[in-house]
């Protein structure tokens, strides 16, 4: 098992399968949410948080895959993206636990700000973190071109999703935002497939 500079040794095979699980959980999140837009409903917080954590595995796999050709862009971008995902996952988990225990925000006072800060960090950091990761992947050229392109697509899809969600409402928001979220998820699937193309000597 490697250290943090090697993504704790997460193999390319695990990091390639992780987006598959994440996209499956993403689909479940959309199904559970429906058109209500209430993120506290049912299993949504749990599927969303688990999906985000699966993408953390993919990020760590990208770092580990580049251990034979390291650069600081990959290291910073991979860990930054991972921390952004963890921030989002923590927020969703807090919502899920609060819903199960029947805890309202006013019941926990200042502690309710902790998951909110994590969520804000995750949402605001995701696009720039992916840009840094994309620069690192482009510089190393270890991933195939379409794998590097997938990182850039994800970097564009996420802020587009955020803007679209903020500017629209109703059915248009539901269809458009989930479509952009789908593009974001598919880009991670493509990245996972690209990781499988890396030789075992380079990143297994």
Question: What residues does each domain of the chain span?
Answer: 4-203
- Asked if 62 contacts 133 with a C-beta cutoff of 8 angstroms, the reply is yes
pTM of the predicted model as reported, rounded to 2 decimal places: 0.88
Which pLDDT band, with edges at 50, 70 and 90, does 110 fall under? low
Radius of gyration of the chain (CA): 17
Note whether 44 and 89 are within 8 A (CB).
no
Average pLDDT over residues 117-134: 95
Determine the pLDDT at residue 20.
93
Cα-Cα-Cα-Cα dihedral sign, residues 10, 16, 21, 22: positive
**pLDDT for 57-84, tens place per residue?**
999 999 998 888 778 999 999 999 999 9
**By percentage, how much of the chain surpasses pLDDT 90?**
47
Distance CA 5, CA 133 (A): 14
Give the model's pLDDT for residue 42: 63
* Rounded average pLDDT over 136-162: 93
Residue 141, SS3?
Answer: coil
Instruction: Report the candidate in 118, 49, 132, 58 with the shortest Cα–Cα distance to residue 83.
Output: 118
Q: Quick check: 50 pLDDT over 70? A: yes
């Amino acid at each position: 098992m490697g250290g943090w500079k090697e993504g704790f040794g997460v193999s390319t095979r695990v990091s390639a399968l992780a987006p598959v699980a994440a996209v499956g959980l993403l689909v479940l999140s959309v199904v559970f949410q429906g058109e209500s837009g209430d993120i506290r409903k049912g299993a949504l917080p749990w599927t969303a948080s688990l999906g985000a954590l699966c993408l953390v595995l993919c990020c760590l796999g990208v770092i580990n895959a580049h251990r034979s050709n390291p650069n600081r862009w990959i290291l910073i971008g991979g860990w930054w993206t991972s921390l952004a995902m963890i921030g989002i996952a923590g927020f969703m988990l807090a919502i899920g636990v609060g819903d199960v225990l029947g805890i309202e925000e006013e019941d926990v006072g200042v502690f309710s700000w902790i998951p909110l800060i994590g969520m804000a960090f995750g949402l605001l950091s995701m696009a720039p973190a992916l840009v840094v990761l994309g620069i690192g992947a482009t510089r190393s050229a270890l991933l195939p071109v379409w794998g590097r392109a997938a990182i850039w697509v994800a970097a564009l899809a996420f802020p587009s999703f955020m803007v679209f969600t903020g500017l629209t409402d109703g059915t248009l928001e539901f269809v458009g935002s989930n479509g952009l979220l789908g593009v974001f998820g598919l880009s991670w699937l493509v990245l996972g497939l690209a990781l499988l193309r890396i030789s075992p000597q380079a990143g297994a």
